């Protein structure tokens, strides 16, 4: 989903004294809009289209890939100033990036500002690095974060697209001003925290020291919180096999023989999840 919004628009980040957790903000919004999508889906499945609840102002449900693609195409086709995009889940497929490149080039060359957020794991993908190198040459800005965030596209701060289901097969088109303002604020705060996407060194092994520490920090917190391997891998934008490699290195770092002992040692060393007294 959202294949055509891989770049995002540029505007000056707003200064902020208190930067909240990006994941909690976007996940909370996704939960709210997902709940609305579930209500609509349930009404359609049980009562049929003739007994649907009244339409929600400023919120349009998109149920198929074609509907999603058409809606995003329409919004991006009339963009006048900026596009902001958050793309979780690690590297983007090469064909997706290649398909988006020409339209992105035209928009950037016409003066549209674009900013995109990826996860740190995208730094290890050659196709993504080539794409980022190209679009930044046209004027786009790209940064990365270690943690999970929800997918979002914001066009001209007047319309946004967010997942409408947990598997991201549906989407919601949002035009409600307060929700748009919330999404923009979360994006700006996340942008302030994020790091520039590096182009050199080009080898993944050389780039690893720049991002592995923050990846491990996030993984440790998720382990202590009790998330499954599958959930952690999804949040970090990596495969479960890669996650197991990272966990193995963390176990070595703390001298843990198994995952249970690692959780205890992490909680004791970092003070996570341990009550005082």
pLDDT tens-digit readout, 120-171: 877 777 888 888 889 999 999 999 887 766 889 999 999 999 998 877 788 9
pLDDT digits (tens, 9 = 90+) for 35-47: 555 555 555 455 5
> 204 pLDDT exceeds 60?
no
How high is the mean pLDDT of the chain? 76
- What is the three-state SS of the chain? CCHHHCCCECCCCCCCCCCCCHHHHHHHHHHHHHHHHHHHHHHHHHHCHHHCCCCCCCEEEECCHHHHHHHHHHHHHCCCCEEEEEECCCCCCHHHHHHHHHHHHHHHHCCCEEEEEEEHHHHHCHHHHHHHHHHHHHCCEEEEECCCCCCEEEECCCEEEEECCCCCCCEEEECCHHHHHHHHHHHHHHHHHCEECCCCCCCHHHHHHHHHHHHHHHHHHHHHCCCCHHHHHHHHCCCHHHHHHHHHHHHHHHCCCCHHHHHHHHHHHHCCCCCCC
Average pLDDT estimate for 87-96: 77
Higher pLDDT: 3 or 27? It is: 27
Provide mean pLDDT across the span 161-182.
89
pLDDT given at position 271: 61
């Amino acid at each position: 989903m959202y294949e055509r919004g891989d770049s995002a628009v540029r505007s000056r980040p707003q200064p902020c004294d208190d930067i909240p957790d990006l994941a909690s903000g976007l996940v909370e919004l996704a939960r709210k809009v997902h709940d609305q999508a579930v209500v609509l889906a349930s009404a359609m499945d049980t009562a049929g289209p003739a007994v649907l609840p009244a339409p929600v102002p400023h919120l349009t449900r998109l149920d198929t890939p074609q509907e999603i693609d058409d809606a995003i195409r329409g919004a991006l086709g009339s963009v006048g100033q900026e596009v902001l995009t958050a793309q979780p889940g690690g590297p983007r497929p090469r064909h997706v990036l290649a398909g988006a490149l020409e339209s992105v080039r035209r928009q950037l060359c016409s003066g549209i500002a674009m900013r995109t957020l990826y996860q740190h794991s995208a730094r290890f993908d050659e196709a993504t690095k080539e794409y980022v190198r190209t679009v930044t040459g046209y004027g786009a800005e790209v940064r990365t974060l270690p943690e999970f965030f929800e997918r979002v596209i914001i066009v001209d701060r007047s319309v946004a697209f967010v997942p409408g289901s947990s598997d991201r097969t549906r989407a919601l088109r949002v035009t409600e001003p307060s929700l748009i303002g919330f999404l923009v604020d979360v994006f700006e705060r996340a942008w302030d925290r994020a790091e520039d996407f590096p182009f050199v060194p080009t080898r993944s092994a050389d780039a690893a020291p720049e991002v592995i520490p923050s990846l491990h920090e996030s993984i440790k917190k998720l382990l202590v919180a009790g998330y499954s391997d599958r959930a952690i891998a999804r949040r970090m934008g990596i495969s479960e096999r890669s996650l197991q490699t990272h966990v193995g290195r963390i176990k070595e770092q703390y001298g843990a023989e198994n995952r249970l002992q690692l959780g205890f040692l992490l909680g004791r060393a970092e003070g996570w999840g341990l009550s005082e007294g």
